């Protein structure tokens, strides 16, 4: 079973939108063990779409087409597929009813052109639309219908939902591959991507390249290094068991570098530890300028453990609000006083602080990337110095996850 992906839209060619859909679909196909050799982007032009589909069907058993299913005159994927199938479009009554009901339920008048979305090439099966107005399509192609063109909307969340619900299961069934595919993302911090690669290399080799389970990893900046384990099996339960066993292998290798086994952020992981201890946190930020706080409030339920923060950008704010003593502000003394000061001022159990040099020039005689992370927890008030790589933005971003990871490790002790 060979598959190709075709993304439709002049706006993709013009670079107005980056085509993330094809990448995501490629990732899913790989996880499902389906060969996938080419992706094409083409504009909203019927002749060119037809040509791309015909060429793809000369090489592949299945083609996933993304985009061009909306209500406007530019949306011509349905027409192009009908040409390739050699059939007419037929108005599908049930699909039309669903579209009418969607508008009615939102209390909005339906422009008549929305019913174009109910036009289906004769012989194709619509994929029910659950999150948008456009249905997807499963279109058998060729004299014996052994090939297939799937059409899904270009809106990412509509595409993903339809691919997972209808397209991938259908593809897996046709390919005769195991239907149950599960994956899990572990996140790590504290070692470089190349070090994580080195640590995992023997295990990946033991799994024999693109075997089952598979292990893939990706450095994602402030999100940590993501290690994704994917397993395939005839049943969901068998796949989960494979996954559990492989997660245990990976955790044995990576140890406390792993901060989440559920693709959570570092902030969420720290929030879980604080909640378990019934403690609250306050942050004092100089270098990171509010980034730690803004990441924390994005965690659902953070109000249970997060009191707030002080962004002490000007040096005299550090002194006046947080009680930082006179002297250089990129220093152990400043980081400690900030952490201790913010938990006192905001009435929190734990205080965390960042102060350092984002760059591009030196500050207090320290080079860019020099960061002090302060931590006030119980009777202990201390700070460590780290050196971070990259430009201003990267130094700031890395200081956030580094500060939170330090707290995580302390809470684990």
**Residues 376-405, interacting with a second copy (CB under 8 A):** 392-393, 396
Angle CA(318)–CA(320)–CA(325) in degrees, nearest 5?
60
**Residues 255-314, interacting with a second copy (CB under 8 A):** 283, 285, 288-294, 296-298, 302-303, 306-314
Burial string for 351-376 (b: 16+ CB within 10 Å, else e) reads bbbbbbbbbeeebeebebbbbbbbbb
Locate tokens 């080079």: which residue? 367
* Cβ-based nearer residue to a second copy, 175 or 293: 293
Q: Give the other-Cβ count within 10 Å of 277's Cβ.
A: 12
Pairing of strands 225-233, 214-219: antiparallel
Min CB(18)–a second copy separation in Å? 5
Q: Is 279 left (phi over 0), alpha (psi -120 to 50) or beta?
A: beta
Site string for a second copy, 159-198 (x = CB under 8 A): ----------------------------------------
How many alpha carbons fall within 13 Å on the CB side of residue 28?
24
Q: What are phi and psi of 117, to 5 degrees?
A: -70, -10
Min CB(155)–a second copy separation in Å? 15
Min CB(238)–a second copy separation in Å? 24
The length of the chain is: 413
Options 26-34, 81-89, 192-200, 268-276: segment touching a second copy (CB under 8 A): 26-34
Q: Is 289 left (phi over 0), alpha (psi -120 to 50) or beta?
A: left
Q: Is 131 in the site for a second copy (CB under 8 A)?
A: no
Min CB(31)–a second copy separation in Å? 9
CA distance 45 to 51: 10
User: Chain centroid to CA 328: how far?
Assistant: 40
Pair 392, 359: CB distance under 8 Å:
yes
Min CB(115)–a second copy separation in Å? 22
Q: What Rg value do the Cα atoms of the chain yield, rounded?
A: 27
| Residue 122: DSSP 8-state | T
Among 1, 43, 110, 366, which residue interacts with a second copy (rule: CB under 8 A)? 43
Q: Is 328 in the site for a second copy (CB under 8 A)?
A: no
Min CB(227)–a second copy separation in Å? 13
CA distance 332 to 313: 17
Q: Is 321 in the site for a second copy (CB under 8 A)?
A: yes
Site string for a second copy, 218-247 (x = CB under 8 A): x-----------------------------
Min CB(213)–a second copy separation in Å? 16
Min CB(347)–a second copy separation in Å? 7
* Cβ-based nearer residue to a second copy, 21 or 114: 21
Options 39-47, 106-114, 176-184, 198-206: segment touching a second copy (CB under 8 A): 39-47
Question: Considering CB under 8 A, how many residues would be counted as binding a second copy?
Answer: 65
Cis peptide before 360 (omega within 30 of 0): yes
Min CB(228)–a second copy separation in Å? 10
Question: Which residues make beta-bridge pairs with 3?
Answer: 36, 62
**Residues 52-71, interacting with a second copy (CB under 8 A):** 52, 55
Min CB(340)–a second copy separation in Å? 16
Among 1, 2, 9, 41, which residue interacts with a second copy (rule: CB under 8 A)? 41
Angle CA(369)–CA(371)–CA(372) in degrees, nearest 5?
170
Q: Is 19 in the site for a second copy (CB under 8 A)?
A: yes
* Cβ-based nearer residue to a second copy, 95 or 338: 338
Question: Taking the chain, what is the end-to-end CA distance rounded to the nearest angstrom?
Answer: 51
Q: Is 72 in the site for a second copy (CB under 8 A)?
A: no
The contacts of residue 261 (CB under 8 Å, 6+ apart) are: 184, 186, 247, 251
Instruction: Name the residues that contact a second copy, by CB under 8 A.
Output: 12-20, 22-28, 30, 36-43, 45, 48, 52, 55, 216, 218, 283, 285, 288-294, 296-298, 302-303, 306-314, 316-317, 320-321, 345-347, 358, 392-393, 396
């Amino acid at each position: 079973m060979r598959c190709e992906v075709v993304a439709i839209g002049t706006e993709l060619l013009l670079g107005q939108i980056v085509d993330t859909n094809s990448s995501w679909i490629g990732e899913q196909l790989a996880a499902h063990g389906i060969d996938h050799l080419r992706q094409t982007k083409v504009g909203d032009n019927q002749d060119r779409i037809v040509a791309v589909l015909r060429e793809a069907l000369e090489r592949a058993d299945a083609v996933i087409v993304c985009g061009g299913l909306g209500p406007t005159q530019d949306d011509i994927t349905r027409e192009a597929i009908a040409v390739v199938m050699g059939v007419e479009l037929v108005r599908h009554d049930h699909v039309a009813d669903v579209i009418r009901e969607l508008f009615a339920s939102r209390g909005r008048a339906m422009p008549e052109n929305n019913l174009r979305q109910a036009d289906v090439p004769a012989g194709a099966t619509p994929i029910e639309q659950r999150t948008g107005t456009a249905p997807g399509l499963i279109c058998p192609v060729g004299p014996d219908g052994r090939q297939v063109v799937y059409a899904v909307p270009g809106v990412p969340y509509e595409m993903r939902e339809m691919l997972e619900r209808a397209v991938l299961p259908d593809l897996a069934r046709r390919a005769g591959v195991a239907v149950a595919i599960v994956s899990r993302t572990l996140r790590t911090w504290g070692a470089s991507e190349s070090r994580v690669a080195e640590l995992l290399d023997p295990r990946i080799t033991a799994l024999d390249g693109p075997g089952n389970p598979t292990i893939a990893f990706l450095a994602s900046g402030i999100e940590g290094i993501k290690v994704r384990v994917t397993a395939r099996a005839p049943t969901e339960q068998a796949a989960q068991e494979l996954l559990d066993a492989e997660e245990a292998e990976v955790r044995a290798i990576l140890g406390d570098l792993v901060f989440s086994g559920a693709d959570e952020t570092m902030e969420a992981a720290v929030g879980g530890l604080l909640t378990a201890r019934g403690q609250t946190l306050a942050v004092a930020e100089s270098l990171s300028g509010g980034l730690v706080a803004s990441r924390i409030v994005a965690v659902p339920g953070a109000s249970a453990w997060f009191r707030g923060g002080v962004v002490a950008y000007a040096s005299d704010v550090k002194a006046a609000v947080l009680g930082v003593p006179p002297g250089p502000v990129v220093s152990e003394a400043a980081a400690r006083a900030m952490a201790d000061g913010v938990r006192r001022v905001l009435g929190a159990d734990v205080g965390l602080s960042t102060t350092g040099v984002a760059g591009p020039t030196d500050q207090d005689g320290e080079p860019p990337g020099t960061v002090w992370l302060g931590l006030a927890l119980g009777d202990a008030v201390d700070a460590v110095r780290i050196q971070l790589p990259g430009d201003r933005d990267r130094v700031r971003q890395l200081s956030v996850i580094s500060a939170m990871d330090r707290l995580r490790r302390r809470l684990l002790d």
